[in-house]
């Protein structure tokens, strides 16, 4: 780990000290639903619409409420 201070001089210390750790973490977690698929599956599901369609069909076939 590098202990060198890399803070730019134009950032005032008061600004840095006023930050609140985790201030937006709840909002971030609620709004994030990104899933990474394997490269070989990307050929079958190139976009969100194709993934959503396949998942809806799967849920319907298995009688899972959406």
Per-residue pLDDT band for 11 (boundaries 50, 70, 90) equals confident
Residue at 6 is within a domain: no
Residue at 8 is within a domain: no
Residue at 5 is within a domain: no
Residue at 38 is within a domain: yes
**Cα–Cα distance between 65 and 58 in angstroms, integer?**
11
Residue at 19 is within a domain: yes
Residue at 34 is within a domain: yes
More confident residue, 37 or 7: 37
* Domains contained in the chain, number: 1
Residue at 23 is within a domain: yes
Give the pLDDT confidence of 15-28 residue by residue, as tens digits. Answer: 778 888 888 888 88
Domain that includes residue 37, residue range: 13-61
Give the pLDDT confidence of 26-53 residue by residue, as tens digits. Answer: 888 888 788 889 999 999 999 999 999 9
User: DSSP characters for 7-31?
Assistant: --TTS-HHHHHT--TTTTHHHHHHH
């Amino acid at each position: 780990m590098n202990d060198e201070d890399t803070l730019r001089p134009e950032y005032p210390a008061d600004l840095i000290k006023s930050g609140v750790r985790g201030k937006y973490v709840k909002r971030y977690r609620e709004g994030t639903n990104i899933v990474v698929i394997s490269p070989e599956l990307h050929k079958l599901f190139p976009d969100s619409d194709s993934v959503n369609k396949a998942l809806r069909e799967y849920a319907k076939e298995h009688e899972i409420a959406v």
